[in-house]
Structure 1
Amino acid sequence: MFTSSHSAARRRALGAATAAALALTLVACGSSSESSMPGMDHGTKPSASSTPRVTPSTGGMPGMDHMADGSGLSDTEHGFRLTSRDMTLPAGGHAAYRFTVTGPDRKPVTDFAVDQTKRMHFYAIRADLTGFQHIHPTMAEGGAWTARPASLAPGSWRLFASFTPDSGAGRGRALVLSRTVTVPGAAARVPLPAAASTAETDGYTVAVKGKPMAGMAHPLIVTITRNGKPVAGLQPYLDSYAHLTAFHEGDTAFAHLHPQTKVNGDHGGPELSFHAELPKSGNWRLFLQFRTGGKLHTAALTLHVG
């Protein structure tokens, strides 16, 4: 009698253990990743409450510029895309680069906000960070833009379009998109000048003070002198006394450094303040544009970011 009762109790215990194991197995299966092929992420994932939601990039074909990273090194971001049929441009003369910006609805964008007096800022830079050009293209009816960069040397170039949509889902969002083109011919790579705090252009000396760190906001102070004397007669250019653009050595990542000095007639300088937030460490090539006596000047120098 004792033996029979003991066996029945043992069977009930085994049955309960089996049911518990089965329940745990079902729970584990229900909480596992849907992807379980070799090489896929099928490990334990944090709970949804502790993991930020990430929207995947819209594209991934090798060789395409679809991986947005906030540095302008993509032709697609937030559903907006820079499209063009021009894969090459001729060397020398004023080549015409035609492009369109399409929105999340895949239709050409035609409504752009005015930023620093322009609806579109267009930049051209060669892979070795030479040949910098800042252009303001024209838009035809229907959203087709034409930019005319001048004097392109043979080599690989990256072309940036900087703009802010003024309607639709992306209204007010500042975007920088880019594509690459090839200029046929024998390309002689120019070594990047060493990092320096000063540069000369058209008889002016531009000095930059500040040591920015990657990914951190940092002020940069620019001082302009001529023949050792402070220049205090800078004229407004694009709603500021100077326009400062930077490109990263190696990948030509883009950064626009925003001016903080208020404009007050033709009385800019000699000291100008900029808000700098350069996302990557390494060398950046800075291009400072300023106007005096109705003439636009461009100074270039290399800045090292830690």
Structure 2
Amino acid sequence: MLLVLGMAAAVPSVPSGPPRAATAGMPPMPGMAEAAGTTQGLGRGLAAEQDGYRLSTATCGVPAGRPTAFRFTVTGPDGAPVTDFAVHQTKKLHFYAIRTDLTGFQHLHPEPANDGTWTADLAALTPGSWRLYADFIPNTGAHAAELVLSRTVTVPGEAVPVPLPAPSDSTTVDGYTVSLHAQPFSGAQQLTATISQDGRPVTDLQPYLDAYAHLSAFHEADQALAHLHPADAVNGDGGGPTLTFQALLPEPGNWRVFLQFQTAGQLHTAQLTLHID
């Protein structure tokens, strides 16, 4: 199985909060593109609408400090809520949340009501500007491709930005050490993840979303989203220690990477910063 990303976008219609300073040489922030009336961000998961499909929410704000049942719909080209979605990566929809400084990552799998309303049970969010993404494949009409739509919401209160950790090729989580290496490959990047515990290779990875890992990456300058699964075939609870991803990270600079994997029924989320030249 080889899954290379899932990204989509046009221009968000909900204004973002104050942008972070862009890295030199990076494209403008989403708000700058919106002001200029351009389509900056096409193909990067930064839009509320694409190909007639629209991510609609009842509010532009989320309360701080407590769990929230965040409701939204996906409307189709006819303006009606979409109620038929294809199952991909074992779910009908993948929902992501991340703050502008790339902290607070959440990856959820809500279920729709019969009227097409989705409810994502968000854990408590800290004050600041957050981007919320819906990743899905509509099972109606002529569109059979994966779409990733997003909107920004504001969580009230004093936002305390967290500096992005420096690039590193390894990190630890729940006693596991995860190493991630990137190298150019056919115009993209090949990412290799190696997982160990107490210096010993881990070989008991369990399937998670039809693969032995799920990788989500967010671009530092604008929160562009890339997500992918390893190319390694799944064969029971015997994954690891090395997983290979064929990644398309279309912009240079720093990406905050979240690698999720499962052992003994427990999901682990490793975080590190990856620099792409």
Establish whether TM, by shorter chain, passes 0.5.
yes
Aligned-residue offset at 1:169: 2.0
1:205 maps onto 2:172 in alignment: no
Confirm or deny: 8 A CA contact 2:11 2:46 kept in the other structure.
no
Cα distance in 2 between the residues matched to 1:201 and 1:228: 14
Q: Deviations over 1:172-218 (max 9, x none)?
A: 210000000011111110000011100110110000122348x9322
Cα distance in 1 between the residues matched to 2:67 and 2:82: 25
- Segments of 5+ residues of structure 1 without an aligned counterpart are 1-56
1:224 maps onto 2:183 in alignment: no
Range with greater deviation from structure 2 (91-100 or 290-299): 91-100
Confirm or deny: 8 A CA contact 2:205 2:262 kept in the other structure.
yes
Cα distance in 2 between the residues matched to 1:244 and 1:82: 23
Which residue of structure 1 aligns with residue 119 of structure 2? 146
Cα distance in 2 between the residues matched to 1:181 and 1:59: 15
1:102 maps onto 2:75 in alignment: yes
Confirm or deny: 8 A CA contact 2:11 2:47 kept in the other structure.
no
Which residue of structure 1 aligns with residue 63 of structure 2? 90
Which residue of structure 1 aligns with residue 275 of structure 2? 304
Range with greater deviation from structure 2 (280-289 or 63-72): 63-72
Q: 1:126 aligns with which of 96, 99, 118?
A: 99
| 1:198–1:58 Cα change, 3 Å | closer
Confirm or deny: 8 A CA contact 2:73 2:81 kept in the other structure.
yes
Confirm or deny: 8 A CA contact 2:13 2:48 kept in the other structure.
no
1:265 maps onto 2:236 in alignment: yes
Aligned-residue offset at 1:303: 0.5
Which residue of structure 2 aligns with residue 69 of structure 1? 42
Aligned-residue offset at 1:219: 1.5
| 1:79–1:227 Cα change, 3 Å | same
Cα distance in 1 between the residues matched to 2:204 and 2:223: 33
Aligned-residue offset at 1:142: 1.4
| 1:122–1:212 Cα change, 3 Å | farther
Which residue of structure 2 aligns with residue 45 of structure 1? none
Cα distance in 2 between the residues matched to 1:257 and 1:61: 26
Cα distance in 2 between the residues matched to 1:115 and 1:283: 28
Q: Structure 1 or 2: larger strand share?
A: 2
| 1:290–1:71 Cα change, 3 Å | same
Structure 1: 4+ residue segments shifted above 6 A: 57-62
Q: Structure 1 or 2: larger helix share?
A: 1
Cα distance in 2 between the residues matched to 1:122 and 1:63: 20
| 1:60–1:96 Cα change, 3 Å | closer
Instruction: Report the structure number with the largest CA radius of gyration.
Output: 1
**SS of residue paired to 1:211:** strand
State TM-score, norm by structure 1. Answer: 0.77
Confirm or deny: 8 A CA contact 1:119 1:164 kept in the other structure.
yes
> Paired residues, what number?
248
Which residue of structure 2 aligns with residue 293 of structure 1? 264
Matching residue's letter, 1:246:
A
Cα distance in 2 between the residues matched to 1:96 and 1:279: 33
Confirm or deny: 8 A CA contact 2:12 2:151 kept in the other structure.
no
Structure number with higher relative contact order (C-alpha < 8 Å, ≥ 6 residues apart): 2
Matching residue's letter, 1:302:
T
Cα distance in 2 between the residues matched to 1:58 and 1:182: 20
| 1:209–1:293 Cα change, 3 Å | same
Percent of aligned pairs sharing the same letter: 57
Q: Deviations over 1:266-294 (max 9, x none)?
A: 00000011110001111000000000111
**RMSD of aligned C-alpha atoms?**
2.0
Matching residue's letter, 1:95:
T
Cα distance in 2 between the residues matched to 1:236 and 1:212: 27
Once the two structures are superposed, the pairs formed by residues 109-188 of structure 1 within 5 Å of their partners are: 109-170=82-143, 172-188=144-160
Matching residue's letter, 2:175:
G
